[in-house]
């Protein structure tokens, strides 16, 4: 069985947290597609949200993780792709419910709003939690193309 591919990307504000998440992913059974940024030089978060969204939409990755200052802007950029359901999460409860109820396929974290240990906990919950389906299927299907996948 092949490893699942997890794409990860950040802007400059999220770079350091992305590095910590990469270290966490190294200990998990996943192949990582690092889409940048690769340093703390100022960049535009929409570029990285769009690139990660494309990787999830075209099947290069099954799930994605985005990091910017708040997790909001980069999630907005990714959500412009109809195959993506990026959820900005700040704790494990919002992360678990984003996967279970909304079939989120991209986790967005804020480096300025979420500490590294909580972010790592969110990452683990995101990867371990599945979409519940059932009553949520109809609602998720209304979100757009590519919805209601696990």
Q: Please give the positions annotated as active site.
A: 68, 101
What is the C-alpha separation between 44 and 48, in angstroms, rounded? 7
Considering only CA atoms, which of 84, 82, 89 is closest in space to residue 67? 89
Contacts of 15 (CB under 8 A, 6+ apart): 37, 38, 39, 40, 67, 111
3-state secondary structure of 39: coil
| CB 58 within 8 Å of CB 84 | no
């Amino acid at each position: 069985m092949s490893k699942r591919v997890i794409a990860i990307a950040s802007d400059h504000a999220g770079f350091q947290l992305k590095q910590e998440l990469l270290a966490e992913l190294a200990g998990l059974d996943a192949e990582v597609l690092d889409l940048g940024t690769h340093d703390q030089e100022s960049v535009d978060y929409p570029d990285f949200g769009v690139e990660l969204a494309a990787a999830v939409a075209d099947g290069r990755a099954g799930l994605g993780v985005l990091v910017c200052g708040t997790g909001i802007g980069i999630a907005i950029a990714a959500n412009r792709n109809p195959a993506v359901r990026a959820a900005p999460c700040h704790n494990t409860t919002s992360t678990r419910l984003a996967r279970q109820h909304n079939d989120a396929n991209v986790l967005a974290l804020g480096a300025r709003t979420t500490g590294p240990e909580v972010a790592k906990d969110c990452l683990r919950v995101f990867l371990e939690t599945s979409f519940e389906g059932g009553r949520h299927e109809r609602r998720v299907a209304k979100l757009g193309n590519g919805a209601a996948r696990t």
